[in-house]
Amino acid sequence: MIELQDVSYGYGSDMVLSQMSLRLAKGSFHFLTGPSGAGKTTFLKLCYGELRPLSGQVRLMGHDSATMARDDLALARQKIGVVHQDCQFLDHLDVAQNIALPLYVAGRDISEAERRNLTQLVNWVDLRHRSAALPPELSGGERQRAALARAIIMDPDVILADEPTGNVDWEMAMRQLRLLVELNRLGKAVLVATHDLAFIRAAKKHVAARVLRIVGGKLQLAGADL
């Protein structure tokens, strides 16, 4: 799946992450926490190949990201669903079209079966009555659920979510959690970056999650205080 071994990364002379190692195995669930600016988003970008490490190795679906050709990297990313913190959409396309966008980007003709799949997915994230709405018309929670649906439209093996509850209330955060737990029970590896410790505590009642913390650029197993 995804494996990081002794990975370090920085911007200019500022080292953000140092000698980090993690393996995201099938069916695993991880939380990544730490204060704002600790490097959580940078870590996720290394996990899906947007960034390449300055040292160490990132393996995506068995291949070293540093030596992967662009086309090979694109194929590997089809197995990695990413829910970005900013939830960007194309505002001239409706919700259903935005969710289906990865299929078009991958050059796939949308078959009747995939159209049924899309309808089921829209229903699963409870956006059936908003599928024809444009992104600016959506609430924060609706945008987050649309982002999750878009992330899994290609049936990825790994889900990476960057602060998925940052712009939603507690009820919506719990709805997001239920969706992520359900995906994990289907065998998908899930990694959620969040600073929301209450969300992590709530999640641990529903899923066997490993909680990691970035401290001083290092990756540590969180203690019992979480």
Q: By residue range, what is the domain housing residue 11? A: 1-79+158-164+189-226
For residue 215, the domain's CATH number is: 3.40.50.300
Any domain includes 98: no
Any domain includes 206: yes
Question: Mean pLDDT over residues 66-76, rounded?
Answer: 91
Any domain includes 174: no
Any domain includes 182: no
Any domain includes 150: no
- % of the chain with per-residue pLDDT over 70: 98
Q: What is the pLDDT of residue 114?
A: 80
Q: What is the pLDDT of residue 226?
A: 55
Per the structure, the count of domains in the chain is 1
Taking phi first (over 0 means left), then psi (-120 to 50 degrees means alpha), and beta for anything else, what does residue 155 get? Answer: left
User: Distance between CA atoms of 25 and 155, rounded to whole angstroms?
Assistant: 16
Any domain includes 224: yes
Any domain includes 92: no
Any domain includes 67: yes
Is pLDDT of 224 > 60?
Answer: no
Taking phi first (over 0 means left), then psi (-120 to 50 degrees means alpha), and beta for anything else, what does residue 158 get? Answer: beta
Which pLDDT band, with edges at 50, 70 and 90, does 119 fall under? very high
Mean pLDDT of the chain: 91
